[in-house]
Structure 1
């Protein structure tokens, strides 16, 4: 058996507020996006591993936090910044795997051993 009474609907039509989409922010410069695109270049030029890892973290955060408006308005996609950051890590760690050739004119043995 079902109950015979129905609960009264307490919602009032005159108190309903329609949804209004917030206005667009316009040309707001995103500082994190700027860091995500410039830190890989700094890491490559300075050959600094710490800046390279920071570039990876910032680019991942920037890519994952990208809004739909940012996706439409930016010229480069977020995964491009992640690729550049990974490339900067590759460049900074490259001397570990491919050591630079010895410089010409450098002595082969220490200078004090010659008799």
Structure 2
């Protein structure tokens, strides 16, 4: 066994100690993801409830951002608030500008059904 120690060629001065890699920060900000995708869902689906939810989520993410998140994100918080407000405008647009060719509501009785 003494010969085994003599053949050990490792040099202690060349050993590099293990260093834990630096963390990459948070895994991702779920709130900002929701605040940027909900306005698009409200526009595509023309759903007013999703539009109002997008306004609430985007305001929360804008008011809750810190200096570190403003440095790391590519879009500012007020941009997501603007997008959510625009989604509300799009969902309420048919209320103010009805589509041409659609019959309006009338108060008269419907036409009689012909007998077969």
Structure-2-length-normalised TM-score: 0.68
**5+ residue gaps, structure 2:** 1-21, 103-109
Structure 1: distance between partners of 2:112 and 2:57: 49
Structure 2: distance between partners of 1:100 and 1:24: 53
Residue 63 of structure 1: how far off its partner (Å): 0.2
**5+ residue gaps, structure 1:** 1-22, 104-109
1:82 corresponds in structure 2 to 81
Distance of aligned partners of 1:25 and 1:66 in 2 relative to their CA distance in 1, 3 Å threshold: farther
1:29 corresponds in structure 2 to 28
Residue 28 of structure 1: how far off its partner (Å): 2.4
2:99 corresponds in structure 1 to 100
Structure 2: distance between partners of 1:24 and 1:36: 25
Residue 112 of structure 1: how far off its partner (Å): 3.3
Query: How many aligned residue pairs are there?
Result: 88
Root-mean-square deviation (Å)? 2.4
Structure 1: distance between partners of 2:29 and 2:49: 23
Structure-1-length-normalised TM-score: 0.68
Distance of aligned partners of 1:87 and 1:49 in 2 relative to their CA distance in 1, 3 Å threshold: same
1:38 corresponds in structure 2 to 37
- Aligned structure 1 segments of 4 or more residues deviating by more than 4 angstroms: none
